[in-house]
Amino acid sequence: MVSITEAKSIIQRIVQNIPPSLFGPDKVNYLLDTADKVASDDKILLRELFNDFLTSMIEREASDIELGGHGNGGYIWMRVHGKKERIKDFPQLSEDESAVLIINLLNQNQRKYLAVTRNLDFSYSFLYKRRRTNVRFRADAYFELDTLALNMRAISAAIRPIDTLEFHPTALKSMSHNYIKFGLSLITGITGSGKSTTLDALIDHHNKFDPAHIVIIASPIEYVHSSNACIIKHREVGRDVLSFKDGVIQSLRQDPDIIVIGEMRDPDTILAALEVTDTGHKVFSTMHTSSAVESLDRIIAEVHPNEQERVRNRLADVLISVVSQKLVPSLDGKRTLAKEVLIVNPNVKAAIKNNNTSEVYMMINQGAQQGMITMEQDLKRLYLQKKISLENAIAYSNNKTRIQQILSAV
């Protein structure tokens, strides 16, 4: 363990050098500009202190750590089994002191980017000594009320086997490159719903038996896969490629079979994803939507009204499946996966083309034999298996009326 007293002394010495005439973001910019002047030994010690925080995070089984910013109130916070909490046995840090620790994690290019854009997604890794293994994190540095803040999320060192996600065999087959060589499969959900875990499980599933080329474009790259049956290339946005759109377009010249797009977050990326899928590639991507129907509507609404009819038809032609998922608090104090699965059959395809996406929910509801399931049906399954409470089954449903109807019959 690093001496907290010694580390705090270094941090306070750096903060005391901030000119008293500077306020708000100017103080952060000063720290960004002068970070190279910090002595190498001091940088190492501050990095080791931060790694001690991450070690504690791992041992508390926390998924996220929050540092800096006005909202933290001087505390370091963690999300432990889904619940945010102050870590009161950690040292309290002022906003300026937290900024010093955060900036110390960044290289020169990252500091320049953060100063201009006010936000930086990056990956971070350190040697977890107790297990003698490198642990990776996904990080986001950002400004909050003119102060610098950081969220860092642990990336699992192990991939969940695909069979533990309990997909219907037909649903899994539809997402398999061996069965369908082209088409778009979406994994959707709010932040922290396990989308990346499911996506990595699907990549690993292919990597065990499919002699294909997978190109992963993500911001940032989280889990790094080793090529097995597949050759797998990783391209991090901001480091290896300028944007998701550029990565998708460039991938066409890299002989891919499967293209993984970390997130379809803007119209350019959506249109590029539909285009490369239309050229005969298998594409996996994620969206921040909580249901299959919402995902369809979001894709169409993201593009200009003049483009919507064309996008609607193209989406209907290339979409294969949508998995919308949530992590629900379980009775054992942890969290369990609930999911909605849409498999695009001729009826769904027609509903998308005819702008009747409101009909799709009932198609999922009646599509069990084809591997489909609504969120409400899956929450009912988890409740009957005594994995979740009745209250959480209702709270995490998308359709409150429907969940109460199907649970009243239990």
Q: Which two tokens stand for residue 198?
A: 């499911």
Asked whether residue 90 falls in the same domain as residue 190, the answer is: no
User: Do 77 and 209 fall within a single domain?
Assistant: no
CATH code of residue 12: 3.30.450.90
Based on the fold, state whether residues 253 and 371 are members of the same structural domain: yes
Indicate if 141 and 267 belong to the same structural domain. Answer: no
pLDDT by position in tens, the chain (length 410): 677 889 999 999 999 999 999 998 899 999 999 999 999 999 999 999 999 999 999 999 999 999 999 999 999 999 998 899 999 999 999 999 999 999 999 988 889 989 999 999 888 999 888 888 889 999 999 999 999 999 999 887 788 899 999 999 999 999 999 999 999 999 999 988 999 999 999 999 999 999 999 999 998 888 899 999 999 999 988 788 888 999 999 999 999 999 999 999 899 999 999 999 999 999 999 999 999 999 999 999 999 999 999 999 999 999 999 999 999 999 998 899 999 999 999 999 999 999 999 999 999 999 999 999 999 999 999 999 999 999 999 999 999 999 999 998 77
CATH of residue 304's domain is 3.40.50.300
Domain closes at, from 111, 129, 155: 155
| Number of domains the chain is built from | 2
Model pLDDT, residue 130? 85
Q: Which residues contact 349 (CB under 8 A, 6 or more apart)?
A: 316, 317, 319
Write down the pLDDT at residue 115: 92
Q: Are residues 196 and 308 in the same domain?
A: yes
Same domain as 185, residue 146: no
Residues 254 and 374 in one domain: yes
pLDDT at 129: 86
For residue 50, the model assigns a pLDDT of 96
Helix or strand or coil: residue 206? helix
Residue ending a domain, among 155, 182, 206, is: 155
Both tokens assigned to 127: 């040697």
**Of the residues 155, 171, 193, the one at which a domain ends:** 155
Residues 180 and 85 grouped into a single domain: no
pTM of the model: 0.79
Burial 214-231 (b: 16+ CB within 10 A, else e): bbbbbbbbbbebeeeebe
Domain of residue 128 covers 4-155
Do 167 and 118 share a structural domain? no
Beta-bridge partners for 285: 186, 261
Query: Is 126:134 a contact under the CB 8 Å cutoff?
Result: yes
Q: Are residues 95 and 166 in the same domain?
A: no
At 1 the pLDDT is: 64
| 132 and 170 within one domain | no
Structure tokens belonging to residue 373? 């399931």
104 and 122 housed in the same domain: yes
Q: Which amino acid, one-letter code, is at 218?
A: A
| Positive/negative CA dihedral, 87, 93, 99, 101 | negative
pLDDT at 212: 96
